[in-house]
Amino acid sequence: MSSSTAATTRASASRRDRVDVRATAIGLVAVGVVLVGVYLGSGGLRWFDAALAGYLVGVLLAVFATVYRYLVWLQRPPTACLNRRGWQAFRARGRRGRNAVGLVGEVGTNLLAQGFIRRRSTTRWAAHQLVFWGCLLAAAVTFPLTFGWVHFRSVGQDGSHYRAYLFGVGSGTFDATSVVGFTIFHLLNIAAVLVIAGVAVFLYRRLRDPGALAVERSGDFLALAGLFAVSITGMFLTASSMWLDGQYYSFLNNLHALTVILGLLYIPFGKLFHIFQRPANIGVHFYKSAGAEGPQQQCRRCGEPFASALQIGDLEAVLPQLGFDYGDGAGGNYQETCPRCRRNLVTLAQSARVGGFG
Amino acid sequence: MTVTSPLSAHLVSDQVFVIDQSRCIGCEACVQACEECGTHRGTSLIHLEFVDRTTSTQTAPQVCMHCQDPTCAEVCPADAIKQNEDGVVQSSLKPRCIGCSNCVLACPFGVPKYFALPDQMMKCDMCYDRSSAGLKPMCASVCPSQALWFGTPEEFAATRRGELLFEFRFGNQVVPTKVATVVDRADDGPLDVLGDPGGFRWQDDPFGLAGVV
């Protein structure tokens, strides 16, 4: 390692150790926005359910930490470059309409249907879809409830009918014992079943696939354990109220709240942070198509085009920020060599040091 | 200034992975065996190609050299490439890789491969399921000419010519690696990839007659 690389590594290490003031400020603003949203959406806390206050604290901590980590992540030189370029490409004059339509398609096929996972493995895709939609469904139910945006009131005297209110505006009345009522009251159980099914498939693969076992990291299991714990403790609550006359409910309620809050806190720090990183893939697609339409980089050895000049130029700008210097000492840059020629150059240099090949 | 790390830093399960490109005969056994690797079954990640088909039979094999400070991981905008505690640089983390190809283009050895359908990069991970358990990587287990070799440094010294070298120079950049290449004299410094190859090639004077005739 060159001394300059070592110095840069040290510099970036000390930068990592400091608290980032800007990210902290924006994280706090995000927390403030959620709090204002809670206050306004719950009719000045009239519909806010105090029993769910613990969950709200968990959400606020998770929001702060997620925003903080995201902003710090965006500061890494290659991430900052890609973020800038992705938006530039998206907003480029003459391409905005096409890009906006493309964005909708990308969100559908890429972020929601996750076709890129299916092309890798159908089983994996099915498991991921189960966990994904299970979590989305659970979030769609619990977040509005926690924020006091949605609440239920019984209609009539016998408690058989309920009406759901969104931001204090009433919707249709439903019979608690009907299929609709059963489904509404069991949405979280449905979500839990989806998540547990997905977790089971993931776990089966993790425990059986020798390749997966070899490259496993502890976080892979932690994420699955967390998803399972949140789902199963949530279903315990239903089991208690439906079949045990509410026995242990208070304990189970605390247990569930604890797993959910720990789960929320795990999101910004653990494997699940990829939820927020993945959308950058769409930016990459805009970046790549902008690069493909622009000039191409020709290899300095074989002369063939091998990448967009845009991306090679970006790499040449980013690499020195990371402590690398691939300059050739004569004004050129090794990065302008195509990968195939790089491999050939290594082989030629090596065989010269052993008296030729063969 | 270059930092020469102790030999122990280059070992996996007490063994060292060695690539001697000059011994490659281009048989492609490694290309087939690579597909059998448990961590990326069905996909071959090793590179093997002719250097210049029209003038030479020389072939260039390339596995990941597992750089001590991996350029691929540093240029990754998604933090998707991780280095294990033992220094092995893993393939991209599937949930993280966003398919930008920064690593493909920045790797000085030209190792990572981008796959369009899953929209992600995959690279050689030294068959981590095998090498971490003391087994040879798939390619080294089938290479008939020992261009790809995995064993203890003592075995190497007892059975092979040349010395192990763990440093490469690309212009101004010196890149120390975990995987070794083989040179006649390691004391001559890092393998200078962009430098004048120089040296004596046996093909230029196969019978050693230059000084005689």
Asked if B37 and B127 count as a contact pair (C-beta separation under 8 A), the reply is yes
**B86 in contact with A, Cβ within 8 Å:** no
Q: Is the dihedral of CA A67, A70, A75, A81 positive or negative?
A: negative
Nearest CA in chain B to A125: B118
Q: What is the pLDDT of residues A206-255, one digit of tens each?
A: 898 877 888 888 788 999 999 999 999 999 999 999 999 999 999 999 99
Cβ atoms within 10 Å of A219's Cβ, excluding its own = 15
Please give the model's pTM, rounded to 2 decimal places. 0.89
Nearest CA in chain A to B56: A357
Q: What is the pLDDT of residues B30-86, one digit of tens each?
A: 999 999 999 999 999 999 999 988 888 999 999 999 999 999 999 999 999 999 989
Burial of A138 (0-12, 13-18, 19+ CB in 10 A): buried
Nearest CA in chain A to B47: A343
The minimum CA-CA distance between B120 and chain A, rounded to whole Å, is: 9
Burial of B5 (0-12, 13-18, 19+ CB in 10 A): middle
B163 part of a folded domain:
yes
B16 part of a folded domain:
yes
B210 part of a folded domain:
no
Q: What is the pLDDT of residues A58-100, one digit of tens each?
A: 999 999 999 999 999 999 999 999 999 999 999 998 889 999 9
Q: Two tokens at A75? A: 């500061």
Q: Two tokens at B194? A: 């962009």
pLDDT of residue A4: 41
Between CA B122 and CA B108 the distance in angstroms is 16
Give A12's contacts in chain B (Cβ within 8 Å).
none
Could A346 and B193 be called an inter-chain contact, meaning their C-beta atoms sit closer than 8 Å?
yes
**What is the interface pTM, i.e. ipTM, of the complex?**
0.93
In SS3 terms, B13-60 reads as: CCEEEEECHHHCCCCCHHHHHHCCCHHHCCCCCCEEEECCCCCCCCEE
pLDDT of residue A217: 80
Task: Quote the number of domains for chain B.
Answer: 1
B62 part of a folded domain:
yes
Tell which B residues from 153 to 192 touch A, by Cβ distance under 8 Å: 162, 165, 168, 170-174, 176, 181-185, 188, 191-192
In sequence order, what are the residues at sequence separation of 6 or more whose Cβ sits closer than 8 angstroms to the Cβ of residue A342? A334, B107, B108, B109, B110, B193
B141 part of a folded domain:
yes
Instruction: Decide if pLDDT at B1 tops 70.
Output: no
The single residue listed with the structure tokens 């059998």 is: B36
Q: What is the pLDDT of residues B122-141, one digit of tens each?
A: 999 999 999 999 999 999 99
Q: Which domain holds residue B143?
A: 7-71+126-198
Interface probe with B: pick from A208, A215, A227, A296, most Cβ of B within 10 Å: A215
Q: Two tokens at A165? A: 């209110």
What CATH number is given to the structural domain containing B47? 3.30.70
DSSP code at position B199: S
